[in-house]
Amino acid sequence: MIRSMRPVIIAANWKMNTTPADAGELARVIAARTREPGVVRVICPPFVCLAAVCDALSGEPVDVGAQDVHHEAAGAYTGDTSAQMLAGLATWAIIGHSERRRDHGESDERIGGKLRRAVEGGLRPILCVGEQLEDREAGRAESVVSTQLAGALAGHAPEALQRAGLVIAYEPVWAIGTGKNARGADAAAMAEAVRSAVRRTGWTDDQVADLPVLYGGSVTAANIGEFLAEPSIDGALVGGASLKPDEMAGIVARAGLTANARRGEPAPS
């Protein structure tokens, strides 16, 4: 299912890298080198760097996101960060990243709670789903992703999620930092499987057609074209390459071509 006017989104997930001393300058450099009309740019630094990145991006049309959000609004949760705490620091939030699932044992139910708090807190959520290598090799990839989506979206009104600007990021866990690479066709097939799974949770065809789906799995300037050539892919959640201005410049430049094409503009000669 294709909607030519879905936004093209490039979200940078800096993971546990940078410090308040250097994050602002990195954000400034990336912002200056990725000014592509029509591309939604989001930088998600560590929590301790959010203020520095916000200050650095003042006046730049680049959004700031958090890498996580707690599933409760407040309480005795030492070391955690609620959606309310992010007010003024972030407008997006990554929910259910594979590393959170792996390292913190986050269940689909817990991720659904985080999604709820993000929406309540006015954060635009990027909900991550994806299968392990053994799941793909056993032919369970679509089933695993469908189960993750059903669990995370349970109890959420489609209209509320659509108003919040829900974005789904498909990240094949087996293609993240392993040297194994997904193909554009693999990502496109899973993007359509994602939309089918979301439809089964109660979304209408029109709502599903407007749902942005990103690819995230060792994205680089060299391979982004293969994924953005697929009409069902609307951008990327970028990990390690998002710390490198040259890589980000190449990724966003290619995303700009896709954005232009969706607006019906001719490619530059």
Condensed to tens digits (0 to 9), the pLDDT of residues 144-177 reads 999 999 999 999 999 999 999 999 999 998 887 7
Condensed to tens digits (0 to 9), the pLDDT of residues 102-127 reads 999 999 999 999 999 999 999 999 99
Whether 227 and 215 have beta carbons less than 8 Å apart is answered as yes
Q: Token pair for residue 186? A: 């693999």
Q: Token pair for residue 228? A: 């953005």
Would you name the residues annotated as active-site residues? 97, 171
pLDDT band per the 50, 70, 90 thresholds, residue 267: low
Instruction: Out of 5-9, 178-182, 198-202, pick the least confident.
Output: 178-182
Domains of the chain: 8-262 (3.20.20.70)
Distance, in Å, from the CA atom of 50 to the CA atom of 63, rounded to the nearest integer, reads 11
Condensed to tens digits (0 to 9), the pLDDT of residues 71-114 reads 999 999 999 999 999 999 999 999 999 999 999 999 999 999 99
Average pLDDT over residues 235-240: 97
Q: Token pair for residue 107? A: 């269940």
Q: Is the pLDDT of residue 2 over 60?
A: no
